Amino acid sequence: MSEDPLKALSDMASDAHARIQAAYEHINPVVEVRRGMRDAGIPADVMTIDCLRTRRRITLILHDEQPGVLLYQFVTIEDEVGDDFKQMALSEVDTGTLYNWIEDYFG
């Protein structure tokens, strides 16, 4: 895995995005890296993957205090973020993981 977990996650999301667009015409995810938490003094990077058609969002967080862990949550765009994040080792996440989440949650 890359020395920079956000870069590695961004690369995986980009690959998953391209694969989804090739396989599903009706799913057009929007991937965004957000700086709001860092700007507010919280040591974490946030990535969102949105589906504007279904109004669903996958929120991914890399928190400096939990290195090597990906926090994630499936919400709606309107609900934003809740308190109940699931987590998994970042080393267990790959393009296929993100692809499957997008396919299952947005499809």
Three state DSSP letters for the chain: CCCCHHHHHHHHHHHHHHHHHHHCCCCCCEEEEECHHHHCCCCEEEEEEEECCCCEEEEEEEECCCCCEEEEEEEECCCCCCCCCEEEEHHHCCHHHHHHHHHHHHC
Q: Are strands 69-76 and 56-63 parallel, antiparallel or unpaired?
A: antiparallel
pLDDT tens for the chain, 107 residues long, are: 457 999 999 999 999 999 999 999 899 999 999 888 899 999 999 999 999 999 999 999 999 999 999 999 999 999 867 778 999 999 999 999 999 999 999 99
pLDDT of residue 44: 95
pLDDT of residue 36: 86
d(CA 2, CA 68): 11
Question: pTM for the full model?
Answer: 0.92
pLDDT of residue 42: 92
pLDDT of residue 90: 96
pLDDT of residue 2: 53
The length of the chain in residues reads 107
Q: Starting at the earlier edge strand, list the strands of the sheet with 30-34.
A: 30-34, 44-51, 56-63, 69-76, 86-89
pLDDT of residue 81: 75
